[in-house]
Structure 1
Amino acid sequence: MPRLRRIRHFTLALDSGPGPTAVYRGGELLSGRVVLEVARRLRVKALEVRARGRATAHWLEGKTVGMSTVYSDYTAHEVYLQMRRAVIRDSGDVTILPPGRHEFAFTFQLPESLATSFEGKHGSVRYWVKAKLHRPWAAVKTAKKEFTVIEPIDINTAALLAPQAGAKEKLARAWYCSRGQVSVSAKIDRKGYTPGEVIPIFAEIDNGTSRAVVPRAAIIQVQTFAARGAKKQKKCVVASMAGDAIGARKREVWHGRALKIPPVGPSILRCHILQVEYVLKICVDIPGTSKLLLELPLVIGTIPLHPFGSRTSSVSSQYSVSLDWIRLGTSEQLEAPPEYSSVVSADESPESPAPPGPNAPPNLLEGPFFAYIQEFRFRPPPLYSEVDPNPTADHSIRPRCMTC
């Protein structure tokens, strides 16, 4: 007859609410229970719970020396969380636990500043809770439970609400002969965004060459790892969009071409050995020469833009998902941004006004006047008055003499 095990279950449970994943942030209370179910009487010396959190960067670099390759190891650690709680103290005596289910509660006060959890190719930021059960004349039994930390990044700040703009130009050459110049200038309404938002890209691409060029836009995630004075980078494309080909000696203008941000992790900027940054890259493919690249910095946050935010935010940032009514004020006929129907539903899409006449000036919705329209667009009608401000002309009424 097989011998019955004394310990049936030894697990950790975190009080993380109804969600399947335990998610916390700096300054919160981490609480949970050690669940121990025993079949027979159990002698326990001590039971401790430890909370750990650290960032790790690691990679190998090879260098050829003679006929062999020598690898250099680059490793760095940064500790964020290191706490210990003695649920059953080791006082020299043995604690007897009767058969049945036993639960031991524990709590940890998380530090105010923690880095967001992350898993990358050359590094990670991980947090976990580990319980150790010490028994006389027996191996230590352990249970481990990982949890996620997401540090809030509020994009409703002056630095993240500031517009980002840049310009680049390149002289296309082939066989030491100049074929013309290609230039690009781009602007976005702010620096900070959250996953699921749409970035309206305002750009102008001027093709001065004799061949067609193709503009593209992409969101790039840049992972930077640091160890022993060296750095390692990994870049990956998280979203991209291709524009139409621009013919020779032609110019194209993007009036808010939409690029949606997919579900990605927030930026990590305060870790010394691991950083996660984002950039918006405008690329122009030029046949016969290298690409023209323009990068605008981005910060992916966790707290979205307030629906009626501060005055420092631009008007286009509050209506970045609906650009049809803006484009109606321009003289050029532009196509709708890609996948617009997947971004805005029919109920959320505002009704577009009638297009202006052919004699309307092309720049009515630009500059301060554009902000003026948006400011008074949803104001209530004027109050009712008994006095008609525009009375009809009546010749039977004698005009009043101003000299009387």
Structure 2
Amino acid sequence: MASTRRTIQFENNSPKVCYSGDLVRGKAEIYFPIPTRVQDIYLTFFGKGFCEWSEGGKQIIGSKTYLDERVDLLQNSSEAGVVIPSGNNSYPFEVRLPSTIPTSYEGTLGYIRYCTALHIIGSTEKLDPLVEAFTVIHPLNLNNSPTYREPMKVRKFTKFNISCCLFCVESDELQLYARLPVRGYCSGQTINLKLDVINKSYQEVLRFLVQFIQEVTYTANNGKQKVERIAFKKRVAEGVRADVKGRHTRKVNITVPSLPPTNFSADVCGSRYMFIVTAETPMCHRNPSFEIPIVIGTSPISSELYASMTDASDTNRASAPPLSAPNTSVNSTNVPHYPDGDPPTYEEAMRSVVAPKMTKDFLPKYPTYRGQTSYASDEPSD
């Protein structure tokens, strides 16, 4: 005997990627092999954030519900039930997602997940709910704040001890200057890092290690936090000898993998991003390093709004200050989620950071852009 078949389809949205604040439309399709009496048919939409880790022999847990909606599909249901004819039956639905819900995320210590479930109540055939996961993107349009279009400049000065003994005399400075054309990028874009080096010290730099880092902050119900740093990509640039004077330039290109946008207001799982640049030296000397914060968005900086490199001034800080959220609402109805002429593809998150037991064969998809711009190009690295 044939069995009941069910599907949940999102209208014009085969990858099932939605944005916060969207009106999600679609249809639930049910095939009954014979006329079937049911009491109710409905959809639920559910979203939850969860994190968990051990600390001092205790389990620390964080949890929050972001979405909990029900959409009734039968117009005239009753206790006596309704007989659904055999064959294919289609039930349209629509639901408005809250504008504040965060982006889907799957991490090693927690997740933010969204799903919809189709429930058929009262059928003689026992049917568990059909559950379909989908991705939610909380939009971050990088054109909404001029801060993201400004160059990012960081410098780091370091002195080395002449020997490894106590009371050593310090050498002249190793001067490191790092520069990014802009402060905000999207997945798929290539970040062009320029590193200028002036080595006035006696100490050779063997190489420069550049790491693209995601820093995830998990927040528990009691306010405790657990911070995890994940190195997605690493690049190595040529070092600088101590006896070669003058300014030396190293260029490093790193393409942003498919990742969730920066989350400025995480309450369970939040992400921010940075480069960590390390000058590796021989022997017993410490390796000077510094951070370059960047913002990952969902809509790239347009070429028309790209600010000139001369618009920003140098900074004397060893590490640049953290970037903050824009004042402009990213969910404004008159701001599109992505540029009309350059829509993104949606690519699955990198599997290397996802705990397999959590995914159940589903990975969130994030907007990815492959086009080159004046501030993000595949220029040769050193």
TM-score range with shorter-chain normalisation?
0.7 to 0.9
Aligned to 2:357: none
**Alpha-carbon separation, structure 1, partners of 2:147 and 2:136:** 24
**Alpha-carbon separation, structure 2, partners of 1:271 and 1:16:** 30
State the Cα distance separating 1:297 from its structure 2 match. 0.8
- Is the counterpart of residue 284 in structure 1 residue 270 in structure 2? no
**Alpha-carbon separation, structure 2, partners of 1:260 and 1:51:** 37
- Is the counterpart of residue 165 in structure 1 residue 161 in structure 2? no
**Alpha-carbon separation, structure 2, partners of 1:274 and 1:131:** 28
* 1:205-260 deviations in Å (ceiling 9; x for gaps): 33344442122322211111111222112212223322212112445645571413
**Alpha-carbon separation, structure 2, partners of 1:120 and 1:187:** 30
- Is the counterpart of residue 73 in structure 1 residue 117 in structure 2? no
Q: In structure 2, which of residues 156, 162, 165 is the aligned counterpart of residue 175 of structure 1?
A: 165
SS in 1 for 2:303: coil
State the Cα distance separating 1:269 from its structure 2 match. 2.2
**Alpha-carbon separation, structure 2, partners of 1:178 and 1:38:** 85
- Contact persistence 1:206–1:251 (CA under 8 A): yes
Aligned to 1:13: 9
**Alpha-carbon separation, structure 2, partners of 1:268 and 1:16:** 27
Aligned to 1:273: 268
Question: For the pair shown, which has the larger CA radius of gyration, 1 or 2?
Answer: 1
**Alpha-carbon separation, structure 2, partners of 1:218 and 1:208:** 25
State the Cα distance separating 1:84 from its structure 2 match. 0.6
Q: Which amino acid aligns with 1:172?
A: F
Structure 1: unaligned runs, 5 residues or longer: 64-70, 325-335, 339-404
Q: Which amino acid aligns with 1:159?
A: T
Structure 2: unaligned runs, 5 residues or longer: 312-371
- Of 83-92 and 199-208, the range deviating more from structure 2: 199-208
Q: In structure 1, which of residues 223, 247, 271 is the aligned counterpart of residue 241 of structure 2?
A: 247
- Contact persistence 1:204–1:252 (CA under 8 A): no
Higher-RCO chain (CA-CA 8 Å, sequence separation at least 6): 2
Aligned to 1:189: 181
Matches within 5 A, 1:1-400: 4=1, 7-17=3-13, 19=14, 21-61=15-55, 63=56, 71-88=57-74, 90-135=77-122, 139=126, 141-156=128-143, 157-173=145-161, 174-176=164-166, 177-178=168-169, 180=171, 181-213=173-205, 214-227=207-220, 228-251=222-245, 253=247, 255=249, 257-265=251-259, 266-287=261-282, 288-309=284-305, 312-314=307-309, 319-320=374-375, 337-338=381-382
State the Cα distance separating 1:46 from its structure 2 match. 0.9
Q: Which amino acid aligns with 2:68?
A: Q
State the Cα distance separating 1:171 from its structure 2 match. 3.4
**Alpha-carbon separation, structure 1, partners of 2:213 and 2:377:** 24
* 1:156-182 deviations in Å (ceiling 9; x for gaps): 221211222222233334132346343
**Alpha-carbon separation, structure 2, partners of 1:125 and 1:322:** 32
Question: What is the TM-score with the length of structure 2 in the denominator?
Answer: 0.73
State the Cα distance separating 1:10 from its structure 2 match. 2.7
- Contact persistence 1:51–1:128 (CA under 8 A): yes
**Alpha-carbon separation, structure 1, partners of 2:245 and 2:51:** 46
- Of 312-321 and 245-254, the range deviating more from structure 2: 312-321
**Alpha-carbon separation, structure 2, partners of 1:296 and 1:210:** 26
Q: Aligned-residue CA RMSD in angstroms? A: 2.7
How many residues of Structure 1 are paired with residues of Structure 2 in the alignment?
312
Distance of aligned partners of 1:37 and 1:323 in 2 relative to their CA distance in 1, 3 Å threshold: closer
Q: Which amino acid aligns with 1:223?
A: V
* 1:250-299 deviations in Å (ceiling 9; x for gaps): 45645571413232212222322211111122211122122211111100
**Alpha-carbon separation, structure 2, partners of 1:182 and 1:113:** 46
- Contact persistence 2:192–2:377 (CA under 8 A): no
- Contact persistence 2:194–2:252 (CA under 8 A): no
Sequence identity (%): 20
Distance of aligned partners of 1:321 and 1:93 in 2 relative to their CA distance in 1, 3 Å threshold: closer
SS in 2 for 1:244: strand
- Contact persistence 2:47–2:66 (CA under 8 A): yes
